Amino acid sequence: MELISHDILIVGGGGAGLRAAIAIGEENPALSVGVISKVYPMRSHTVSAEGGAAAVIKPSDSLENHIYDTISGADWMADQDAVELFVNEAPNEMIQLEHWGCPWSREPDGSVAVRPFGGMKIERTWFAADKTGFHMLHALFQTALKYNNVTRYDEWFATKLLVHEGTCQGVSALELRTGQIRAIGGKATILCTGGAGRIFPFTTNAAVKTGDGMSLAYRAGVPLKDMEFVQYHPTGLPGTGILITEASRGEGGILINKAGDRYLQNYELGEPLDVNHPEHPRKRAMELGPRDRLSQAFVQERKKGQTMEGPYGDFVHLDVRHMGQKKIDKKIPFVRELCRNYVGIDPVHELIPVRPVVHYVMGGVHTNNDGETPLPGLFAAGECACVSINGANRLGSNSLTELLVFGARAARAAVRFSTQTGSLATTEIIAQADQEQQRIRNQFFQPASGSETIAQLRVELTQSMESGAGIYRTENSLQATCNKIRELKERFQKVELADHSLTFNTELTTALELEYMLDVAEALAHSAVARTESRGSHQRTDHPDRDDERFLKHSLAYQTGGDPRIEYLDVVITRWPPGERHYGSK
């Protein structure tokens, strides 16, 4: 096997990966960069983000506001030094993207327009109608095309980190077109592989979001941090899980139950204002409360029998009719397009059925504020990483900005690291990639010995995650899920593939993805068992209170031969002492 090598490798070609690639080009164009992505970069899941990206730009807003909204939204689990630098760097990153052509929606005077999102004191979400992620991703992808120090490996699937003498020196990757495993060396490697929503049955996440980078790091001994915190977005379309953006509520949409009541008023989210009231929608209240609280309110409403029943589960209604066609077409045209295409209703005239849906994993690969992981040479940014700025509940519209700020920071740190690093251990890392080729052949291409199918194991995994590790959890439910995952890991050894060909073998990549999902699910369920408190998105009915004394700490899950080992790390508190989360007060 030959070694392909670059100064810096980026695994994943979504928002964080492309921002990182460009940052390296800006920082030091003499460095060669390899971007390894299992899909063409513009297919990455950043493309599906709708509502917007937060950064302080208007004189009426302040950095202090954005910091406070983020920290309180996170139920004080975010590291405050990280949040502070994130908020400080966000405006420049967003302006930079504007300079790269992102078609932000504008005010009449030509300045960038902003809208309110959940959990915000004041509107600060930049948007490109309701296809913000799509426009950001394409602007980044098209801008990245002009850097000729960047080599793309489109449709190459990373299978393992190549680690020699305690440093990460690259990855092995399956080239989909040829079916060959390749060794790709890099003095520094940045994981930008996104989240893992696909471990749940009902998710807004695209098929690609299978936790690949999280698992790659976990297998290399890097801990996964705060994995128990999973964000349910309150408004997904039943059946498909397609996201109806929070911007629909930021622009005035309301949530109503079976009786037609704005039920959020019963959950300490404030009093409803009439939709025609000039102050509607009020910030940090009612429909603009944080996502964790809104999703939990749905479950409580269901218990009271106040949700409606449909073929794809219970739902409530999102009503945007009062916005009128003109505003809907201008501000949330994609919502209308999605409702018409996938539900057969027109939100201009009809109510939209919605239910909570798995949307985002707050946890991820443990990094510091520069995207460095504990493994020298390995960096991570974006949803696959956990810095942490999102804590126990991410504020809507912080994740797109996070891709930019931390994609760039991780890239700059990787530049520093790679320029201080000597040559690669070529022979050793090629040998590791050879072994990886053997492992995959032996495990998946041996003649029929197994009896398990990928689809069956995946269904059992996702169902167990929902029943045991959903919006409300208990020790018993989580333990059952942990047991199930252990069983599925054993059964995975008996997976049999029908497809033994080399050319574009997507059955093989699906199997490798399932193996990643099992790792991520394992870290998640065990971290959740160990956290015997309720905080943000992690709600334990057997431990209903927040316990700062014992759990104002990040969890760190390490892979072992058996169950993961869970350790803890203090949350960084600087100027904002832990307090109560208040929403809905005037």
DSSP single-letter state for residue 2: P
| 359 is an active site residue | no
Distance between CA 270 and CA 279 in Å, rounded? 13
Q: Please check whether residue 53 is in contact with residue 136, taking contact to mean a CB–CB distance below 8 angstroms.
A: yes
Q: Rounded to an integer, what distance in angstroms lies between the CA atom of residue 405 and that of residue 399?
A: 10
Determine how β-strand 33-37 pairs with β-strand 3-11: parallel
The one catalytic residue in 135, 198, 249, 535 is 249
CA distance readout (Å), 135 to 123, 138, 142, 204, 442? 20, 5, 10, 18, 42
Minimal distance in Å, beta carbon 501 to other proteins?
Answer: 5
The pairing of strands 230-236 and 352-361 is antiparallel
Q: How many residues bind other proteins (CB under 8 A)?
A: 60
Q: How far is the CB of 67 from other proteins (least distance, A)?
A: 21
Q: Which one among 68, 472, 504, 558 touches other proteins, defined by CB under 8 A?
A: 504
DSSP state of 43: G
Helix, strand, or coil here: 392? coil
| CB distance 406 to 372 below 8 Å | no
Task: Mark residues 332-371: x for contact with other proteins by CB under 8 A, - for none.
Answer: -----xx--xx-----------------------------
* 506 belongs to the binding site for other proteins (CB under 8 A): yes
Verify whether residue 394 is a known catalytic residue. no
Report strand pairing: 125-126 vs 53-54.
antiparallel
The minimum distance between CB 340 and other proteins, in angstroms, equals 11
| Residue 40 binds to other proteins (criterion: CB under 8 A) | yes
Q: Closer to other proteins by CB, 124 or 135: give it.
A: 135
Binding segment for other proteins (CB under 8 A), chosen from 1-9, 166-174, 240-248, 479-487, is 240-248
Measured from the CB atom, the residue of 169 and 235 that comes closer to other proteins is 235
CB of 447 to other proteins, least distance (A): 16
> Per CB under 8 A, which of residues 432..461 are in contact with other proteins?
453-455
Q: Pick from 207, 277, 322, 476: which binds other proteins (CB under 8 A)?
A: 207
From 233, 291, 336, 473, active-site residue: 233
R_g of the chain computed on alpha carbons: 23
Please report, for residues 4, 298, 513, 552, the alpha-carbon distance to residue 441 in angstroms, rounded to integers and kept in the order given. Answer: 21, 47, 16, 45
Site for other proteins in 90-149 (CB under 8 A): 92, 95-96, 98-101, 103-112, 131, 134-135, 138-139, 142-143, 145-146
How many Cα neighbours within 13 Å face the side chain of 205? 24
3-state helix, strand, coil in the chain (%, to 5): 40, 20, 40
Q: Which is nearer to other proteins, 92 or 493 (CB)?
A: 92
For other proteins, the closer CB: 236 or 290: 236
Single-letter code of the amino acid located at 323: M
Shortest CB 436 distance to other proteins, Å: 22
Q: Which is nearer to other proteins, 179 or 376 (CB)?
A: 179
DSSP letters along 333-382, please? HHHHHHHHHHT---TTTSPEEEEEEEEEES-EEE--TTSB-SSTTEEE-G
507 binds other proteins (CB under 8 A): yes
* Nearer to other proteins (CB atom), residue 105 or residue 167: 105
Which region among 69-77, 205-213, 215-223, 251-259 touches other proteins (by CB under 8 A)? 205-213
Shortest distance, CB of residue 217 to other proteins, whole angstroms?
23
Least Å distance, CB 311 to other proteins, is: 9
- Measured between alpha carbons, how far is 535 from 205 in angstroms, rounded to an integer? 24
> Which sequence positions are flagged as catalytic?
233, 249
- Interacting residues toward other proteins by CB under 8 A: 39-40, 42-45, 47-48, 92, 95-96, 98-101, 103-112, 131, 134-135, 138-139, 142-143, 145-146, 154, 177, 206-208, 239-240, 242-243, 337-338, 341-342, 453-455, 497-499, 501-507
